[in-house]
Amino acid sequence: MLTAKQHELIRFIQQRLGETGISPSFEEMKEALDLKSKSGVHRLISALEERGFIRRLPNRARALEVIKLPEDAVTAPAAAKVSVAAANDAVVSAHKAAPVAPDPANDVLQIPLHGRIAAGAPIEAIEGQSSMPVPAALLGPGDHYALEVSGDSMIEAGIFDGDFALVRRTETARDGEIVVALVDNEEATLKYLRREGAMVRLDPANGAYEPQVYEANRVQVQGKLAGLLRRYH
């Protein structure tokens, strides 16, 4: 027997497949079910998959197939059943035509990738439209995004040029935490946060760099470091 949220989610996936032939994104499912984070969506999908109601298509991160519906959906109009079947066929066809790739792990989430961020002198934070897969175990509760690190001012904290910073969205942080700080509403940097009265100090983790000190009203916290991803070439 499914929980109310599991039932609501499979109905939403069925509806979206019937309308577009494409399964909804984690963000769309989170909003449709009024959940606080995408990790809740991940748990619901895993539960439905374990019970045999849905299947993840292996070479596409967000492709889902409805295998069966809850018992109370058996009496649904025949046209709706045909629509779901046609949508499933379309997704399966797209899956077969796509290049072969390794099966994604069941604990991988897609989060937005928002350009590059400075780990040196502040540079403009570039908003992007892409996303990247991240192991769910690296992300706690809340909404997250990723930024590619540029520069070497945080190397003593183990953060190197080319790393991907996984950031939890928040506007508050404690002293000593590594944050994404937006300066003068146009430049962003990754630094330790320190408060000194009416001033804010952004500290590097590299002895070759000096701290950056600003009036508090010039600095806005946009997130806290939650994890790192590194590619080895």
Reported CATH class of domain 111-229? mainly beta
**Structural element, H or E, at residue 112:** strand 108-118
CATH code that applies to domain 4-97: 1.10.10.10
Contacts of 226 (CB under 8 A, 6+ apart): 138, 139, 140, 144, 166, 167, 168
Give the residue with greater pLDDT, 207 vs 90: 207
The residues assigned a catalytic role are 153, 191
pLDDT score for 91: 42
H-type helices in 75-129, by residue range? 78-97
Put residue 197 in one of left, alpha, beta given phi > 0 → left and psi -120 to 50 → alpha: left
User: What does the domain layout of the chain look like in residue ranges?
Assistant: 4-97, 111-229
Residue 131: phi and psi, rounded to 5, are: -140, 170
Mean pLDDT on 50-72: 73
Q: Is the pLDDT of residue 125 over 80?
A: no
Task: Name which of 14-23, 68-77, 89-98, 223-232 the model is least confident about.
Answer: 89-98
Q: Which residues pair with 66 in a beta bridge?
A: 54
Contacts of 200 (CB under 8 A, 6+ apart): 181, 193, 194, 213, 214, 215, 216, 218, 219
**Under a CB-based contact definition with an 8 Å cutoff, are residues 65 and 88 in contact?**
yes
Per-residue pLDDT reduced to its tens digit, 165-181: 999 999 999 999 999 99
State the pTM of this model.
0.53
Q: Which structure tokens are listed for 62?
A: 């967000």
Give the residue with greater pLDDT, 158 vs 136: 158
